């Protein structure tokens, strides 16, 4: 068996990066993986949830189909938080992925398995999905590059929804060049996903950002080591001829609540389809009233965080609360888009740390309250809420653990971000853990 | 959030909650919504969209095609002959 296959099995067995892998690698094909909320023929698609146990979709999601068409072999499905509900990949019915740099720490979430696979397997490309930071977060904690494209750039046909106005399919890998190559493959309009049909064509080449803006509000409540590493990274950007300026973006403080209200509102309606009949787990006791039947399956199968988000989203949409929460959050999203645009008049991208801290230990995560966990998304939520493309890059190592920084550009300017990522990689050497399968 | 409210929300969401869950989720949602009250300070914007980018209507050619075999879909649903099995409606 090949060395690459040994690494795939190692990533599955030692780091729980995969829920399923193939039996063998095909000759002449490149290897890629897909987060378990992307449907693929021949694999279960369970999105980290027990309610989907046994669901085998009879088709490939469009991004998977496109990767196969250019010679890719889907080698496995990667572990994730249930339906994407989490920041640390600890809310999964199918195993919690373990960080490549330290087995006692989180890979980030919700594309945690994708982050681990991208880090552990050289040349591997992992399809991830982000709703509020689920590509950037794992990229930061696992020390890899993670690209979240503009909302609507990549077809979501075959994606198991979390939040329709927020979900985006993207890529994680060890280098920007690998991501740039495969981003062209998965991008583009698809009649099966109308939101992908409004996009402009990708340009031939991106434009290197020459001016970066750092919102001062994004630098509050950071771990001191992350703050210090980030400032060192800014100095390095200046050394390679990029202007860095501090700006103010007061509306950032509204992003986290607006995101969680919209995301849970959309999730609570999307998850209504899991009723024990159409997908996955089927209740065999049919001699019940349909309300009891549906309620029983859902109550037994959804995990703790899924229930919490369904309850929160249902509450926010209820009569009497809709204007205060849901409609206000839509208005806040528009406000944030306008504020980003104001910054982009004078700057090519916004840069912040990706996460406020390095990968936390599982024992520390277990003591966190839900609100504290949501707060960990404070830096990844703004670009996700507004549909702006963003890329997370390793920018430092603190006590052997990677620190990520995140660059955000205006809608449709993914290639500019990849130019910046490429320039960064010439100035800063990434490190990866030594692996002996 | 009081017990009655969380019970009403759970019923709408088709979730059975134990007493312990009821208490825990009520406390969590209280904490979360109190923290989210910062939104009251956000300016009341007049314009908003349901998507972060403009989404336009796109029409494709009306050509007959079979994307997926309906039989395959029925298999996923545990169908019996040409029927889909389900719970009682009344």
SS3 state at B38: helix
Residue A272 maps to a domain: no
Rg of chain B over Cα atoms, rounded to whole angstroms, equals 23
Whether residue A411 and residue B53 make contact (CB cut-off 8 A), yes or no, is yes
Q: What is the DSSP letter of A202?
A: P
Find where tokens 């390679």 sit.
A240
The answer for residues whose C-beta is within 8 angstroms of residue A279's C-beta and 6 or more apart is: A51, A52, A55, A273, B76
Mean pLDDT computed over A359-364: 98
pLDDT recorded at residue B49: 86
Which positions of A are catalytic?
A: 35, 110, 134
Best mutation site among A302, A314, A337 for testing chain B: the one with the most B CBs within 10 Å?
Answer: A314
In chain A, what residues touch B34 (CB-CB under 8 Å)? Answer: none
pLDDT at A1 exceeding the cut of 60: no
Q: Is the pLDDT of residue A409 over 60?
A: yes
Nearest to A98 by CA among A113, A110, A111, A83: A113
- Could A257 and B15 be called an inter-chain contact, meaning their C-beta atoms sit closer than 8 Å? no
Does the pLDDT value for residue A311 go beyond 90? yes
Residue A154 lies in a domain: yes
> In sequence order, what are the residues at sequence separation of 6 or more whose Cβ sits closer than 8 angstroms to the Cβ of residue A374?
A87, A256, A260, B32
Nearest to A434 by CA among A122, A75, A30, A179: A122
Domains annotated for chain B, with CATH where assigned, are 1-42 (1.10.20)
pLDDT digits (tens, 9 = 90+) for A279-305: 887 777 788 888 899 999 999 999 999
Q: Do B56 and A287 touch (CB under 8 A)?
A: no
Q: Shortest CB distance from A288 goes to which of B15, B16, B87?
A: B87
At A210, the pLDDT band (50, 70, 90 cuts) reads very high
Label the pairing between strands A102-106 and A401-408: unpaired
Nearest to B15 among A59, A286, A310 (CB): A310
State the smallest CA–CA distance between residue B4 and chain A in angstroms.
Answer: 13
C-beta of residue B6 within 8 angstroms of C-beta of residue B18:
no
Question: Cα A120 to chain center, whole Å?
Answer: 18
Is residue A217 included in any domain, yes or no?
Answer: yes
CA distance A143 to A213: 23
**pLDDT for A229-258, tens place per residue?**
999 999 999 999 999 999 999 999 999 999
Across the interface, whether the CB atoms of B52 and A311 are under 8 A apart is answered no
Question: Do the domain assignments include residue A304?
Answer: no
What is the full per-residue pLDDT of chain B (90 aa) written as tens digits?
888 999 999 999 999 999 999 999 999 999 999 999 999 999 987 788 899 999 888 887 888 888 788 777 777 777 777 788 888 876
pLDDT in tens, A364-395: 999 999 999 999 999 999 999 999 999 999 99
Mean pLDDT of A324-331: 94
Q: Between residues 311 and 330 of chain A, which touch chain B (CB distance below 8 Å)?
A: 311-312, 314-315, 318, 324-325, 327-330
Of A371, A433, A362, A405, residue with least CA distance to A90: A362
A9 assigned to some structural domain: yes
Per-residue model confidence as pLDDT tens digits over A70-123: 999 999 999 999 999 999 999 999 999 999 999 999 999 999 999 999 999 999
- Closest chain B residue to the Cα of A53, Cα to Cα: B76
Mark yes or no for CB contact A198/B55 under 8 Å: yes
A331: nearest CB among B45, B72, B77: B45
| A366 in reach of chain B (CB within 8 A) | no
**Interface contact B76-A325, CB threshold 8 A:** no
Q: Is residue A271 part of a domain?
A: no
* DSSP-derived secondary structure for A351-412: EEESSSSSPPBHHHHTT--HHHHHHTTTTTHHHHHHT--EEEEEEEEETTEEEEEEEE-STT
**Looking at A51-60, A101-110, A211-220, which range is the least confident one?**
A51-60
Residues A240-269 as b or e (16 or more Cβ within 10 Å = b): eebebeebebebbebbbbbbbbbbbbbbbe
Helices A328-344 and A255-270, packing angle to 10 deg = 130
> Per the structure, how many domains does chain A have?
1
Domain with A75, as residue range(s), is: 3-253+330-427
Per-residue pLDDT at A315: 96
More confident residue, A294 or A348: A348
Cβ A148 vs Cβ A389: under 8 Å: yes
Q: What CATH number is associated with residue A111?
A: 3.90.1300.10
């Amino acid at each position: 068996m090949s060395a690459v296959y040994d690494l795939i099995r190692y990533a599955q067995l030692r780091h729980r990066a995969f829920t399923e892998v193939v039996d063998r690698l095909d000759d002449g094909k490149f290897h890629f993986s897909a987060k378990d909320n992307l449907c693929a023929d021949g694999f279960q698609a369970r999105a980290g949830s027990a309610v989907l146990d046994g669901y085998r979709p009879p088709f490939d999601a469009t991004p998977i189909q496109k990767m196969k068409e250019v010679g890719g072999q889907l080698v496995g499905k990667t572990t994730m938080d249930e339906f994407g509900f989490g920041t640390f990949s600890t809310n999964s019915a199918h195993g919690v992925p373990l960080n490549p740099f330290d087995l006692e720490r989180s890979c980030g979430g919700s594309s945690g398995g994708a982050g681990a696979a991208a880090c552990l397997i050289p040349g591997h490309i992992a399809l991830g999905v982000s709703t509020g930071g689920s590509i950037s977060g794992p990229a930061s904690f696992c020390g890899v590059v993670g690209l979240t494209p503009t909302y609507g750039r990549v077809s979501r046909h075959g994606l198991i929804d979390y939040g329709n106005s927020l979900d985006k399919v993207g890529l994680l890998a060890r280098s920007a060049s690998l991501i740039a190559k495969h981003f062209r493959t998965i991008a583009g309009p698809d009649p099966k996903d109308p939101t992908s049909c409004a996009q402009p064509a990708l340009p031939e080449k991106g434009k290197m950002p020459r001016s970066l803006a750092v919102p001062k509000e994004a630098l509050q409540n950071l771990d001191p080591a992350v703050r210090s590493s980030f400032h060192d990274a800014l100095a390095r950007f200046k050394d390679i001829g990029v202007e860095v300026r501090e700006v103010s973006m007061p509306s950032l403080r509204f992003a986290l609540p607006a995101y969680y209200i919209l995301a849970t509102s959309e999730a609570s309606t999307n998850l209504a389809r899991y009723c024990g009949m159409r997908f996955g787990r089927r209740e065999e006791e049919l001699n019940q009233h349909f309300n009891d039947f549906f309620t029983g399956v859902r109550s037994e199968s959804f995990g703790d965080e899924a229930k919490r988000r369904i309850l929160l989203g249902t509450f926010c949409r209820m009569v009497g609360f809709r204007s205060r929460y849901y409609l206000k959050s839509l208005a806040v999203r528009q406000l944030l888009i306008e504020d980003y645009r104001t910054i982009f008049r004078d700057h090519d991208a916004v840069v912040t740390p990706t996460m406020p801290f390095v990968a936390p230990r599982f024992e520390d995560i277990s003591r966190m309250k839900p609100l504290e966990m949501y707060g960990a998304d404070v830096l990844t939520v703004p670009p996700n809420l507004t549909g702006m493309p963003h890329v997370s890059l390793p920018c430092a190592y603190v006590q052997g653990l990677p620190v990520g920084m995140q660059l955000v550009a205006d809608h449709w300017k993914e290639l500019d971000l990849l130019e910046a990522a490429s320039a960064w990689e010439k100035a800063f050497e990434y490190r990866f853990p030594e692996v002996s399968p | 959030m009081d017990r009655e409210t969380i019970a009403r929300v759970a019923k709408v969401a088709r979730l059975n909650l134990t007493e312990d869950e009821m208490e825990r989720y009520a406390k969590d949602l209280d904490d979360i919504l109190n923290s989210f009250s910062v939104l009251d300070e956000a300016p009341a914007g007049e314009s908003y969209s349901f998507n972060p980018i403009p989404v336009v209507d796109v029409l494709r050619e009306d050509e007959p095609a079979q994307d997926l075999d309906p039989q395959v879909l029925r298999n996923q649903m545990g169908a019996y002959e040409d029927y889909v099995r389900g719970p009682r409606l009344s």
